[in-house]
């Protein structure tokens, strides 16, 4: 098995004599030594997880893609943005629907909000050096449940007022502001990693 890390073949002494577990551990150590993390592994265009790597044939090539920890955070923020767009569409669709409300109508919004909450919470452990306010989706999640309660009870005027005032003007703006500040911090850390010389100039 040959590994290509970001396009460059990785030469590791006696790699063929190692077990798959040992190969994977050596690969992790190699990537970590360069202050990067593995974001994907592919073989013939098919994504492999660690379990797959234990069972694939010996004669394949594995393309390993890595990123900086900051780059990974930026990717997650992009996914959070996409999830919030899906939530927004689902909430608006529930308001505009011409059929009686069914709780399942908000399944997509609740699923996306739960993912946003978990992703945002993970930042605290992943980036303990960040001194700003982390995005916290807990209140957003609870408020969507309040919106669902309004619709379930037929309180459509309250649901509309919630959507226009509470959601759009009170809850989303501070959350998005914290996302924006965190993104700027990640952007700066990522830029410093990619251009250490620029960091030295700025520190002089």
Q: How many alpha carbons fall within 13 Å on the CB side of residue 129?
A: 5
Same domain, 109 and 163: yes
Contacts of 23 by beta carbon, 8 Å cutoff, 6+ apart: 1, 3, 12, 15, 53
| Predicted pLDDT at 168 | 93
Q: For residue 201, is pLDDT > 50?
A: no
Distance in angstroms (rounded) separating the CA atoms of residues 196 and 27: 24
| Predicted pLDDT at 19 | 86
| 201 within a domain of the structure (yes/no) | no
Same domain, 75 and 62: no
| Predicted pLDDT at 12 | 80
Question: Which of 39, 67, 95 is at the close of a domain?
Answer: 67
Nearest to 193 by CA among 69, 47, 87: 69
The three-state (H, E, C) secondary structure of 60-117, written as one string = CEEEEEEECHHHHHHHHHHHHHHHHHHHHHHHHHHHHCCCCCCHHHHHHHHHHHHHHH
Query: Domain range spanning residue 93?
Result: 70-196
Q: Which pTM was predicted?
A: 0.81
| Predicted pLDDT at 197 | 55
Mean pLDDT score, 34-53? 90
């Amino acid at each position: 098995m040959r590994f290509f890390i970001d396009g460059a073949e990785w030469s590791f002494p006696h790699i063929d004599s190692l077990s798959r577990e040992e190969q994977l551990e050596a690969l992790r150590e190699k990537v970590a030594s360069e202050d990067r993390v593995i974001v994907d592994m592919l073989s013939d265009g098919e994504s492999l997880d660690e379990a797959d790597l234990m069972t694939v044939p010996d004669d394949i090539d594995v393309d390993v893609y890595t990123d900086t920890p900051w780059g990974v955070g930026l990717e997650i923020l992009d996914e959070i943005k996409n999830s919030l767009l899906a939530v927004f569409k689902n909430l608006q669709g529930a308001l505009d629907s011409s059929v009686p409300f069914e709780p399942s109508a908000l399944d997509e919004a609740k699923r996306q909000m739960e993912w946003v909450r978990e992703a945002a919470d993970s930042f605290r452990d992943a980036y303990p050096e960040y001194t700003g306010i982390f995005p916290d989706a807990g209140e957003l999640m609870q408020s969507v449940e309040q919106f669902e309660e309004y619709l379930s009870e037929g309180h459509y005027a309250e649901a509309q007022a919630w959507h226009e005032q509470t959601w759009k003007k009170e809850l989303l703006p501070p959350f998005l502001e914290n996302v924006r500040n965190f993104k700027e911090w990640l952007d700066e850390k990522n830029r410093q990693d990619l251009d250490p010389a620029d960091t030295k100039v700025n520190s002089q």
